[in-house]
Chains A and B, each alone.
Chain A
Amino acid sequence: MRNTHIRRARSVVVFGTALALFATACGSDSKSSSGGELKAIGKGEGALSIVAWAGYAEDGTTDPKVNWVKPFEDQTGCKVSVKIGNTSDEMYQLMSTGAYDGVSASGDSSVRMIDAGLVSPVNTSLVANYADISSFLKDQVYNSSGGKNYGIPHGWGANYLMYNTDVVKPAPDSWSVVFDKNSPYKGKVTAYDAPIYIADAALYLKTAKPELKISDPYSLTQPQFDAAVALLKDQHSIIGEYWANYSTTQQAFEQGSTVLGTTWQIIANLVSGAKKAPVATVLPKEGSTGWSDTWMVSSKAKHPNCMYMWMNYETSPAVQAQVAEWFGEAPANTKACALITDDTTFCDTFKATDSAFASAIKFWATPRKKCLDGSGDNCVPFSDWIKAWTEIKG
Chain B
Amino acid sequence: MTYTNRATRAGFRVWTLLVLVFLWLPLVIVAVLSFNTSASLAWPPSGFTFHWWGKALHNDGARSALEMSLKTASIATVIALVLGTAASFAVQRFKFFGREPLSLMIVLPIALPGIVTGVALNSAFREVGVSLGLMTLVIAHATFCVVVVYNNVLARLRRLSPNLEEASADLGADTFQTFIHVTLPLLWSALLAGGLLAFGLSFDEIVVTTFTNGAGNDLQTLPQWILSNLSRGDQQPIVNVTATAVMIFSLVPVWAAQRLTGKQGGLAGR
- A143 to B233 Cα, complex, angstroms: 33
Residue of A nearest to B128 (CB): A27
Asked if B216 and A61 make an inter-chain contact with CB atoms under 8 angstroms apart, the answer reads: no
Q: Which of B8-16, B46-54, B76-84, B93-101 contacts A (4 or more CB under 8 A)?
A: B93-101
Confirm or deny: B45 has a beta carbon within 8 angstroms of a beta carbon on chain A: no
Confirm or deny: B131 has a beta carbon within 8 angstroms of a beta carbon on chain A: yes
Asked if B41 and A251 make an inter-chain contact with CB atoms under 8 angstroms apart, the answer reads: yes
Given A61-B235, A64-B234, A99-B132, CB of A49 within 8 Å of CB of B216: yes
Asked if A27 and B130 make an inter-chain contact with CB atoms under 8 angstroms apart, the answer reads: yes
- A3 to B94 Cα, complex, angstroms: 6
User: In the complex, what's the smallest C-beta–C-beta distance from A166 to chain B, in angstroms?
Assistant: 17
- A274 to B98 Cα, complex, angstroms: 61
Residue of B nearest to A54 (CB): B232
Question: Total interface residues on B, using CB and 8 Å?
Answer: 30
Asked if B215 and A83 make an inter-chain contact with CB atoms under 8 angstroms apart, the answer reads: yes
Asked if B234 and A4 make an inter-chain contact with CB atoms under 8 angstroms apart, the answer reads: no
Confirm or deny: A116 has a beta carbon within 8 angstroms of a beta carbon on chain B: no
Confirm or deny: B200 has a beta carbon within 8 angstroms of a beta carbon on chain A: no
- A274 to B128 Cα, complex, angstroms: 48
Residues of chain A lying within 8 A (CB to CB) of residue B61? 61
Asked if A25 and B93 make an inter-chain contact with CB atoms under 8 angstroms apart, the answer reads: no
Asked if B231 and A245 make an inter-chain contact with CB atoms under 8 angstroms apart, the answer reads: yes
Asked if B215 and A274 make an inter-chain contact with CB atoms under 8 angstroms apart, the answer reads: no
User: In the complex, what's the smallest C-beta–C-beta distance from B229 to chain A, in angstroms?
Assistant: 7
- A58 to B129 Cα, complex, angstroms: 33
User: In the complex, what's the smallest C-beta–C-beta distance from B61 to chain A, in angstroms?
Assistant: 7
Confirm or deny: B177 has a beta carbon within 8 angstroms of a beta carbon on chain A: no
- A209 to B234 Cα, complex, angstroms: 45
Residues of chain B lying within 8 A (CB to CB) of residue A6? 94-97
- A276 to B40 Cα, complex, angstroms: 10
Residue of B nearest to A7 (CB): B97
Residue of A nearest to B124 (CB): A24
Could you write out 28 A-B pairs with CB less than 8 Å apart?
A1-B93, A3-B95, A4-B94, A5-B95, A5-B97, A6-B95, A6-B97, A9-B96, A10-B98, A13-B98, A24-B128, A28-B128, A28-B129, A30-B129, A30-B130, A62-B232, A62-B233, A62-B234, A81-B215, A82-B217, A83-B215, A83-B228, A94-B215, A99-B215, A245-B231, A247-B233, A254-B40, A270-B233
> Footprint of B on A, CB under 8 Å?
1, 3-6, 9-10, 13, 24-25, 27-30, 49, 61-64, 81-84, 94, 97, 99-100, 245, 247-248, 250-251, 254, 270, 274, 276
> Footprint of A on B, CB under 8 Å?
40-42, 61, 93-98, 126, 128-132, 162, 214-218, 228-235
